[in-house]
Chains A and B, each alone.
Chain A
């Protein structure tokens, strides 16, 4: 399966502009199974655009993307196809539908049906409990209440649980702990290790450089819409990393 030196994901010189503004000039990187790569860069550097291309939200204007060595055809470059390939995202704002319950949010876009039209609510609730138990998340109480009735931490658990449950290959986390306290942050980091250990690759966007050093195997810097070659975390000092982020200097 994994030819090309085991690369699970290859992103090759993807670019994207919005109405004449180049959000991403050229983004390239590779990702292997069970690897955590951190994407860092200043605000507006193009990190979000890059991961939204990987997630299928944006179709790149140029460049290409390969998953398990297979190029993604431009007409297939959409969220549905990427999710089908096992790529999931935890968005910074969690991207939950506030008036719907936890099972609905977990199954968003893949609601199980009976007879083609009816929602299989029992299956959803059962699977939701399993997923949350697998993640050792035990704080979620009611599965019938709108998710907006839950605490921020519980909502986060559901959002992460959703990505982990369906993201067999790649889970993308966009600033997953920016709004969390230390305990919840520890919990999220534990989950990241857990999914990495099962062979899933993780893309982490974080402004917290300590966290990046703590978790990432490799680091990718985006500066003014350009990626620099990703480098291993070991052997990089935080000063070097800060210079790379702010000045776009190449590291090693």
Chain B
């Protein structure tokens, strides 16, 4: 009866079936994290379940989580931003450099830098109509190169106390290091999560993200200024990367030329593990939390189990493919490029 491509007038049983698989897809993130936690509990037991380890996970997740939110904003519209890792590293360096120049307020340079990178991403993508993948790939390379040029290969450290003598490549900001520690970093992430949820679910901007992922053509037919909105999307994502750069700096204690490398992949993986289709149209903040947490727990659990870090990355790659394979609604996909 129901062929591989059911039309809009799907029969009732087909609808019920697609309803069930829809429900399964929506719950994949939750099922995945439960399975992962169970698995590592069996393998490593107390060492995995210890308070100390979960405190570590709570410290480890927030940077990835905020990067995943940046990615979620973009992915919901059906685009992608693979420059978030470079942007994170660049913003961390600009934040710490800003503090060297201007004192504590200079930290806004980090948020500013990430937001400007978002604006450039959005403008190239929207005005020059170059695909978001190509645009942000170019920006991934350019921003990383600029970071190398500005830093000249050196790092600037955030320290508890003002450094004495001629050692200039550091800035004292104990408050920032405190922000990077448990529980402050977790509280920060929870506050951002609450704001992100309101932004994503309740504002016109959030609703427009999903609509843009659904049909850009229809939005422009009804007078919505899609060109400008697409720029704003990347600016919003950039701002979120800027927030991530603050806690990342607090946690790592240094702006370095290599900070944030390959983080874009983890951010995309977290969003995908959260069941958000990379084709856009819908997504979920709470499931993205679960996705980011799953990714962190897997990395953590494999380390505790004594798995070589390279094999750990292999495992996370495989996990990503499994998660996307389950979360995709293949019945609605005609062509895959």
Bound Cα distance from A39 to B182, whole angstroms? 69
Bound Cα distance from A119 to B205, whole angstroms? 9
In the bound complex, residues from chain B placing their C-beta under 8 Å from that of A18 are none
A99 touches B282 (CB 8 A): yes
A117 within 8 Å of B by Cβ? Answer: yes
Chain A stretch 154-177: residues in CB contact (< 8 A) with chain B = 155
Known contacts A100-B214, A152-B8; A118 and B203 CB within 8 A of each other:
yes
The B contact surface, by secondary structure, is helix
- Minimum CB distance partner of A166 in chain B: B222
Cross-interface CB contact of B211 among A91, A104, A155, cutoff 8 Å: A104
B205 touches A117 (CB 8 A): yes
Q: Which of A8-16, A76-84, A229-237, A243-251 lines the interface with chain B?
A: A76-84
Against B, the Cβ 8 Å flags (1 = close, 0 = not) of A105-138 are 0001101010001110000000000000000000
With both chains docked as a complex, state the minimum distance between the C-beta of B183 and any C-beta of chain A, in angstroms.
30
B202 touches A119 (CB 8 A): yes
In the bound complex, residues from chain A placing their C-beta under 8 Å from that of B210 are 99-100
Cross-interface CB contact of B223 among A91, A109, A149, cutoff 8 Å: A109
In the bound complex, residues from chain A placing their C-beta under 8 Å from that of B223 are 56, 78-80, 83, 109
Cross-interface CB contact of B214 among A83, A99, A109, cutoff 8 Å: A99
With both chains docked as a complex, state the minimum distance between the C-beta of A7 and any C-beta of chain B, in angstroms.
25
Bound Cα distance from A119 to B208, whole angstroms? 10
A99 touches B224 (CB 8 A): no
B213 within 8 Å of A by Cβ? Answer: yes
Number of A-B residue pairs, CB cutoff 8 Å, is: 66
Chain B contact-residue range equals 20 to 34
In the bound complex, residues from chain A placing their C-beta under 8 Å from that of B8 are 148, 151-152, 155
With both chains docked as a complex, state the minimum distance between the C-beta of A119 and any C-beta of chain B, in angstroms.
5
Cross-interface CB contact of B218 among A97, A117, A119, A155, cutoff 8 Å: A97
A108 touches B222 (CB 8 A): yes
In the bound complex, residues from chain A placing their C-beta under 8 Å from that of B224 are 108-109
With both chains docked as a complex, state the minimum distance between the C-beta of B121 and any C-beta of chain A, in angstroms.
23
Cross-interface CB contact of A99 among B9, B205, B213, cutoff 8 Å: B213
Chain A stretch 189-217: residues in CB contact (< 8 A) with chain B = none
A95 within 8 Å of B by Cβ? Answer: yes
B221 touches A111 (CB 8 A): no
A180 within 8 Å of B by Cβ? Answer: no
- Minimum CB distance partner of B198 in chain A: A118
B281 within 8 Å of A by Cβ? Answer: yes
Bound Cα distance from A152 to B203, whole angstroms? 29
- Minimum CB distance partner of B8 in chain A: A152
In the bound complex, residues from chain B placing their C-beta under 8 Å from that of A89 are 221
In the bound complex, residues from chain B placing their C-beta under 8 Å from that of A148 are 8
In the bound complex, residues from chain A placing their C-beta under 8 Å from that of B215 are 96-98
B219 within 8 Å of A by Cβ? Answer: yes
A72 within 8 Å of B by Cβ? Answer: no
With both chains docked as a complex, state the minimum distance between the C-beta of A207 and any C-beta of chain B, in angstroms.
22
Against A, the Cβ 8 Å flags (1 = close, 0 = not) of B256-287 are 00000000000000000000000001100000
B207 within 8 Å of A by Cβ? Answer: yes
B204 touches A117 (CB 8 A): yes
A109 touches B207 (CB 8 A): no
Q: What are 30 A-B residue pairs whose CB atoms fall within 8 Å in the complex?
A: A57-B221, A79-B220, A79-B221, A79-B223, A80-B223, A89-B221, A91-B221, A95-B217, A97-B215, A97-B218, A97-B219, A98-B214, A99-B214, A99-B281, A100-B210, A104-B207, A104-B211, A108-B219, A108-B222, A108-B224, A111-B207, A117-B203, A117-B204, A118-B202, A118-B203, A119-B202, A119-B204, A149-B15, A152-B9, A155-B8
Known: A96-B218, A99-B213. 20 other contacts (CB 8 A): A57-B221, A79-B221, A79-B222, A96-B215, A97-B214, A97-B215, A97-B218, A99-B210, A99-B211, A100-B211, A108-B218, A109-B219, A109-B222, A117-B204, A117-B205, A118-B202, A118-B204, A119-B204, A149-B15, A152-B8
Q: Which residues of B contact A (CB under 8 A)?
A: 8-9, 15, 202-205, 207, 210-211, 213-215, 217-224, 281-282
Closest 5 A/B residue pairs (Cβ): A80-B223, A79-B223, A99-B214, A109-B222, A99-B281
